[in-house]
Amino acid sequence: MKKASRYVLGLLILTAAPAAFASELPKEGSYDYTACWSGVNNVITFSKTHTAASYEMTGTTRSNPSGGMFDKNTFHCVGMNASLDGKSTGSTVCEATDTDGDKRLAYFSLGSDGKVTRENITGTGKYEGMVASGTVQPLGPFPVVKAGTFQDCNHQTGTYKLK
């Protein structure tokens, strides 16, 4: 299940993206932030080649430099992943909230080829109609502190365009 858990975390870490600005945001630009989270999972280990897990996690983001796009956001995600005969799949839905209370909803899916697809579904306030793309660099995995839980971080960079 370790391999499948990494995929889950890979999906999940992509989720934190709304900005934390009290002032007007530029209509387009770049972002650079670190997202960290912790969560709980429910695992089925049917065999060495058939595993699945559902999970829920919460986390926060910090931008580089501080005060930048997506700084001090919180996020909540739910998802499910499976590894079936060596083919891994998974999906995650995340809601992120910035310091102004504006939100963004994102959907992540992991294909059997190991690639993650990210889609911004909708947003409120400044994030309504937002388009974003970027890359994710995993920083973990970190040791499990308690059975049934996970913790991790990633570094995300990319560009955004607001409506």
**pLDDT one-digit tens code per residue, 24-75:** 778 899 999 999 999 999 999 999 999 999 999 999 999 999 999 899 999 9
Q: Over pLDDT 90: what percentage of the chain? A: 61
- Please tell me the pTM assigned to this model: 0.79
> What's residue 9's pLDDT?
45
DSSP string, 10-69: HHHTT-------SSPPPSEEEEEEEEEEEEEEEEEEEETTEEEEEEEEEEEEEESSTTST
Whether the predicted pLDDT of 3 surpasses 60:
no
Residues 86-106: tens digit of each pLDDT: 888 999 999 999 999 999 998
